[in-house]
Amino acid sequence: MAYDDRFMSLAIELAKKGTGAVNPNPLVGAVIVKDGRVIGEGYHKKYGGLHAEREAFASLTEDCTGAEFYVTLEPCCHYGKQPPCTQAIIEHKIAHVYVGSSDPNPLVAGQGIKELEENGILVTSGVKKEDCDRLNPVFFHYITTKTPYVVMKYAMTLDGKIATKTGKSKWISNEASRQRVQEFRHELTGIMAGIGTVLADNPLLTTRLPNGRNPIRIICDSHLNIPLESRLVQTADEIPLFVAMLDKEKYILKDKISKLKEAGAQILYLPEKEGHTDLAALMKELGARGIDGLLLEGGGVLNESMLREGLVDEMRIFVAPKVFGGVSAKTPVTGCGIDEVTEAEEFTLSELERIGNDIYARYVKRR
């Protein structure tokens, strides 16, 4: 039986509703169809809650024996926080399952589909695969690497500056673009910046969206220069703040460490690499703490280190129709840079949008 694109598109839209609430689980949507009519639909709403498949069965308006089932991700076949979804599909006597993405989770990885087929259910996989895959780059990366998927974000002028020569950066992009950034902060579990940005801008790095989720804030600060009176430290008892410093300085800086801990911050002790915190080690540490995705909000020195270490998976860039000029005005990626064009990290354009007079572009790492 041929599948109907509209039902998978509906499942994708449903999946998106879980944004910011399901991490480190994937976004998943499901639709049950009988005689060309939707008779049930659901999505994974919350980490630890029912999976999309069971949400869809719970919403059924009539018997679904012999129905078709559209699901954006291969159904799970193992016991986690919830029983296997394959079981629910088999018990409900579904005739045909249309699957979008395959699940790279080693506990699933084709086993879900195999189990359905072994129980006499027809399975068609790869339905609107590209669109379904686009829902879950964070999950696909985290489940296989146990380190966060890193999204570098910045706003720059037409001449590629992220601040004026006097260090002013408010505001480069327009209000609608900045609103989009609030959505990214809601979407990703963590947000990371360098101490240079903290000293220059005194940011809060929270989500200013109604019902938005605040990301866990991570500051790369080898020598613990973060001011106790900074807005980050002042809010650390309500909104998690991790400060990553050099392990070898923990005795010299013990008084400051105590004060930061008293304020509610957590300190991450890291090995040294090229005079700074070792970023690959930091990614492992953050992954171990359940941070599956990270919004990297620079500035240029930290951005360059992350790129040079091969730790950036995606770039989201806003270009505003302004020109700042000035040799000393900061650019999005500074640091020591590379020598040869062939050494450059390469990305593929995955989205391009006009937001008022700004341009928004999204690039994913070429693997």
Which of 163, 233, 307, 333 contacts ligand NAP by CB under 6 A? 163
Instruction: Record the tokens describing residue 33, joined without a space.
Output: 């169809």
Q: Is 220 in the site for ligand NAP (CB under 6 A)?
A: yes
Which residues make Cβ contacts (< 8 Å) with residue 197, sequence separation at least 6?
203, 297, 298, 299, 302
H or E element in which residue 112 lies: helix 111-118
Instruction: Choose which of 12, 94, 121, 172 interacts with ligand NAP (CB under 6 A).
Output: 172
Cα 204 from Cα 195, distance rounded (Å): 13
Catalytic residue among 53, 68, 285, 304: 53
Q: Which stretch binds ligand NAP (CB under 6 A): 32-40, 125-133, 214-222, 337-345?
A: 214-222
353 Cα distance to chain centroid: 19
Question: Binding to ligand NAP by residue 365, rule CB under 6 A?
Answer: no
- Is 297 catalytic? The answer is no
Task: Assess contact for 59 and 67: CB atoms under 8 A.
Answer: no
Q: How many residues bind ligand NAP (CB under 6 A)?
A: 30
Assess 102 for contact with ligand NAP (CB under 6 A). no
Q: Which of 30, 57, 61, 58 is nearest to 44 (CA)?
A: 30
Nearest approach, Cβ of residue 328 and ligand NAP (Å):
11
- Is residue 53 part of the contact set for ligand NAP (CB under 6 A)? no
Binding of ligand NAP at residue 32 (CB under 6 A)?
A: no
Q: Which residues contact 311 (CB under 8 A, 6 or more apart)?
A: 150, 279, 280, 283
Q: Does 196 bind ligand NAP (CB under 6 A)?
A: yes
- Which of residues 230 and 277 has its CB atom nearest to ligand NAP in the complex? 277
Does the footprint of ligand NAP cover residue 154 (CB under 6 A)?
yes
What character string, x for contact with ligand NAP (CB under 6 A) and - otherwise, covers 274-313?
--xx-x-----------------xxxxxx--x--------
Beta strand residue intervals within the chain, DSSP E? 29-34, 37-43, 68-73, 96-101, 122-124, 149-157, 190-194, 216-220, 241-246, 266-270, 272-273, 276-277, 293-296, 314-320, 347-355, 358-365
Q: Which stretch binds ligand NAP (CB under 6 A): 75-83, 112-120, 190-198, 205-213?
A: 190-198
Contact window for ligand NAP (CB under 6 A) among 40-48, 73-81, 136-144, 272-280: 272-280
Q: Do the strands 216-220 and 347-355 form a parallel or antiparallel pair, or are they unpaired?
A: unpaired
Asked if 320 is part of the footprint of ligand NAP (rule: CB under 6 A), the reply reads no
* Amino acid letter, 282: L
Least distance in Å: CB of 167 to ligand NAP? 5
Please tell me the chain's helix, strand, coil percentages from 3-state DSSP, rounded to the nearest 5. Answer: 30, 25, 45
8 Å CB contact between 89 and 121: yes
Dihedral over Cα of 348, 349, 351, 356: its sign: positive
Stretch near ligand NAP under the rule CB under 6 A, chosen from 124-132, 137-145, 163-171, 248-256: 163-171
Q: CA 275, 257, 186 angle in degrees (round to 5)?
A: 80
Q: Report in angstroms how near the CB of residue 240 gets to ligand NAP at its nearest.
A: 19
Name the residues annotated as catalytic: 53
Chain residues binding ligand NAP by CB under 6 A are 154-155, 162-163, 167, 169, 172, 193-197, 200-201, 220-223, 276-277, 279, 297-302, 305, 330, 334
